[in-house]
Structure 1
Amino acid sequence: MKTNQQSVTFNNTYILGISFISALGGYLFGFDFAVIAGALPFLRSAFALNAWWEGFLTGSLALGCIVGCLLAGGLADRYGRKPGLMLAAFIFALSSLGMAFSSGLTVFVIMRFAAGIGVGMASMLSPLYIAEVSPANIRGRNVAINQLTIVIGILVTNLVNYALADNGPEAWRWMFGLGAVPAGLFFLGVIWLPESPRWLLKAGKEAQAKKVLGNIGSEAFVTDTFKDIQQSLQGSVKQSYKAVFEKAVRPAVIVGITLAVFQQLCGINVVFNYTSTIFESVGANLDRQLFETVAIGLVNLIFTVVAMWQVDRLGRRPLMLIGSLGLSVVYIVLAFLLQHQAAPGLVSVFVLLAIAMYATSLAPVTWVLISEIFPNKIRGLASSVAIVSLWTAYFILVFTFPILAEVLGTYGPFYLYAGICLVGFLFVKSKVRETKGQTLEALEQQLIKH
């Protein structure tokens, strides 16, 4: 594959390989994100959950993710991307076993919080690492690989949950315990990964940075990229979180935080996490509820592949605009169907349509933009701030849904989410610029000019 300069070539197999290994962090995200949907019917009985505890148990993952992101930002800038990814895998493996062997609700929530720390670290470091090892012309596709592994994790977990559902009231223990398997594989894979060349240069390890860049592309690519990174790091000093909110970078940080919050408050994760609640409200039995989680996972996977194909062609901004406006319309129809007790099959059509809209737009593109729009000097810290905002919004969403559904009916919150999607559409239209095909350093120069 070649860029505009004919002498610049890339080792696509190597780039794809290290991107997929790093993106296994996304699989852990997908696993813990989806496992709760299949386990909730069992957990409600095992722990006698009311609406408040159901929301808190589900959202406790997000609270751990917030801690994980805060830890990951400092670790990534101090010790590198690779050690952080290894620690995330280790924490996730231990917490998966901890949830499986939980003796009561308190222990389970603590272990789910710990799992969130691992997920939060991986959710920040995996796309950050991929963006820093990928050439500009395929960066969007490669970062979207992280979203692909998330949705594969969701689909595989939903299939496993469906298969385990007939194993009695303790089936939920197997559902959570099996998370130790992908976590172990991820840990072993990260051992093989090279460190990010941008971090190596920032740390003064020029020879190692050149070696990694040489594995990624030709000598011309090494020379050009090395020079661009050095220029972007000139005058660089150790950064604190205060630097993230300096006037020069504030516009990018505001956009990153707003997009992260919007990706969650758009409401789609209610569909992922509370599938059983939604379909139970229109009379579906447990088998049908778990089957719908599998259908959701399959549609999510198919349309994530579509997004990977389009993100470097159509671009980030058009996909975000189409997805946010489309979700707003679909939610209004879905709320109407739930309100009037439509047949589960008809509800399923619009649930899956909402998933398709999200999977081709807000799901992957938000992660791509967060990995792209921040300057090299503060990318680790700024990414952690944006993703902390994302997980805070996720906690608010999943904690409040059971309570809102109890007060307003299951359909009520979807009218609210439709309004949020419309506001998100207007924000993207006015504030988000296209980033496809530009190097991270070129995007940084644009930010400085503005």
Structure 2
Amino acid sequence: VINAPEMIIKDFINYTLEERLKDPPNKVLLTSLWSLSVAIFSVGGMIGSFSVGLFVNRFGRRNSMLIVNLLAVAGGCLMGFCKIAESVEMLILGRLVIGLFCGLCTGFVPMYIGEVSPTALRGAFGTLNQLGIVIGILVAQIFGLKVIMGTEELWPLLLGFTIIPAVLQSAALPFCPESPRFLLINRREEESAKEILQRLWGTQDVSQDIQEMKDESARMAQEKQPTVLELFRSRSYQQPIMISIMLQLSQQLSGINA
């Protein structure tokens, strides 16, 4: 979304620095700050993606999504008020915080969808997450047009717009069930997991699903937790890891997020 009003935001950076330094910033500094504003989102996303496990195993899938909405609100406020505060730092920090939020959510959401979806529909429901992401990108680009919100007056609201879906999600999530897999494997709350499965599947007989999760838990307990270095050194992990990395690289190198 930040690319659509690029020239307007560059003018904001230029004006802010000129007012602060009492001298127009040179082109190199201006380009560097703009590049940092864009790229730091990916830095936050990388840090957030590495932190997914810390959240989901401690707070659960649903509660993790609820908690990190605070990051979306904080990042949206920083970017939304950066023009009023005449602060380039708020813009950059807001981009970093939003990057953290997005990195975490790209792990939370597909995990939650997969664990609350019926096995037969898991793949279909899983694609809805990515579909929602690309629709969101499209809507953001449209809103960023000059005829809508890509103007000198409205661009801070455009960047702060992320607060609205975060608030809506925070209001809706308490009515959603926690992942039955998390309740059974992490919390050892079999009855709670069974009740949620019965409600989700619409049937009283969920013994097979419960047993599958128990078997999975037993296998996890027997396996040694590999370190990051072991993941790359082990031949059994090397191929799937390289395939995953190349798929992600090919997506980014295509320029879709440029």
Give the drift of 1:267: 2.3
Structure 2: distance between partners of 1:109 and 1:259: 29
* Residues 76 and 94 in structure 2, CA contact (< 8 A), matched pair in contact too: yes
CA-to-partner distance for each residue in 1:345-377, whole Å, 9 max, x for gaps?
xxxxxxxxxxxxxxxxxxxxxxxxxxxxxxxxx
Q: 1:262 to 1:73 in 2, by over 3 A?
A: farther
Per the TM alignment, residue 234 of structure 1 is displaced from its structure 2 partner at its CA by 0.7
Counterparts in 2 of 1:205 and 1:257: CA distance versus 1, 3 Å: farther
- Once the two structures are superposed, the pairs formed by residues 44-63 of structure 1 within 5 Å of their partners are 44-48=10-14, 50-63=30-43
Q: What is the Cα-based RMSD across aligned positions, in Å?
A: 2.4
- Give the deviation of 1:269 after TM superposition: 1.9
Q: Which runs of 5+ in 1 are unaligned?
A: 1-34, 271-450
Name the structure 2 match of 1:24.
Answer: none
Once the two structures are TM-superposed, the CA of residue 216 in structure 1 deviates from its matched residue by 2.1
1:44, distance to aligned residue in structure 2 (A): 1.5
1:268 has 2:256 as partner: yes
Give the fraction of aligned pairs with identical amino acids, expressed as a percent. Answer: 25
Which whole-Å CA distance do the structure 1 matches of 2:239 and 2:57 have between them? 22
Number of the residue aligned with 1:196: 179
Distance 1:45 1:240 in 2: 50
Match of 2:144 in 1: 161
Q: TM-score, structure 1 length as denominator? A: 0.48
Quote the offset at 1:242 in angstroms: 1.2
- Do the aligned residues in 1 keep the contact of 2:5 with 2:150 (CA within 8 Å)? no
- Relative to structure 1, the CA distance from residue 88 to residue 236 in structure 2 (aligned partners, 3 Å threshold; closer, same or farther) is same
Alignment of 1:285-300 (within 5 A): none
Q: Secondary structure at the match of 2:2?
A: helix
Structure 1 residues 177 and 267: alpha-carbon distance in aligned structure 2, compared to 1, 3 A threshold: closer
Q: Structure 2 CA distance, aligned partners of 1:155 and 1:128?
A: 24
Indicate the SS of the match to 1:89. Answer: helix
Please state if 1:211 is matched with 2:195.
Answer: yes
1:148 positional shift? 2.1
The question of whether the paired residues in 2 share the 8 Å contact of 1:87 and 1:118 is answered with no
CA drift of 1:256 comes to 2.6
Q: Structure 1 pair 165/207, CA: closer, same or farther in 2 (3 Å)? A: closer
Asked if the contact 1:61/1:115 (under 8 Å) is kept, the reply is yes
Q: Aligned partners of 1:249 and 1:196: how far apart in 2?
A: 27
State the Cα distance separating 1:165 from its structure 2 match: 4.3
Q: Deviations over 1:369-424 (max 9, x none)?
A: xxxxxxxxxxxxxxxxxxxxxxxxxxxxxxxxxxxxxxxxxxxxxxxxxxxxxxxx
Q: Equivalent of 2:102, from 92, 113, 119? A: 119
Q: Which residue of 1 aligns with 2:134?
A: 151
Aligned residue-pair number: 234
C-alpha distance in structure 2 between counterparts of 1:75 and 1:239, whole Å: 21
Shift of 1:38: 2.1
Q: Which moved more, 1:135-144 or 1:110-119?
A: 135-144
1:73 match: 53
Match of 1:236 in 2: 220
Of structures 1 and 2, the one with the larger relative CO (CA 8 A, separation 6+) is: 1
**What is the deviation of 1:194?**
1.1
Task: Give the drift of 1:154.
Answer: 2.0
Q: Deviations over 1:19-68 (max 9, x none)?
A: xxxxxxxxxxxxxxxx2122322111111374433332111111111222
User: What secondary structure, in the 3-state scheme, does the structure 2 residue paired with 1:36 have?
Assistant: coil
Matched, 1:226 2:226: no
CA gap 1:166/1:140 in 2 versus in 1, 3 angstroms? closer
In the TM superposition, residue 249 of structure 1 has moved relative to its aligned partner by 4.3
Distance in 2 separating the partners of 1:145 and 1:207:
29
- Normalised to the residue count of structure 2, the TM-score between the two structures is 0.81
Equivalent residue for 1:174?
157
Match of 1:256 among 231, 244, 249: 244
- Secondary structure at the residue paired with 1:234? helix
Q: Distance in 2 between matches of 1:257 and 1:208?
A: 37
> What CA distance in whole angstroms lies between the structure 2 residues aligned with 1:146 and 1:231?
28
Letter in 1 for 2:71: I
Q: In structure 2, give the amino acid aligned to 1:43.
A: I
Structure 1 residue aligned with 2:77: 97
Q: Could you tell me which runs of 5 or more consecutive residues in structure 2 were left unpaired when the two chains were aligned.
A: 15-28
State the Cα distance separating 1:166 from its structure 2 match.
6.8
Structure 1 residues 257 and 212: alpha-carbon distance in aligned structure 2, compared to 1, 3 A threshold = farther
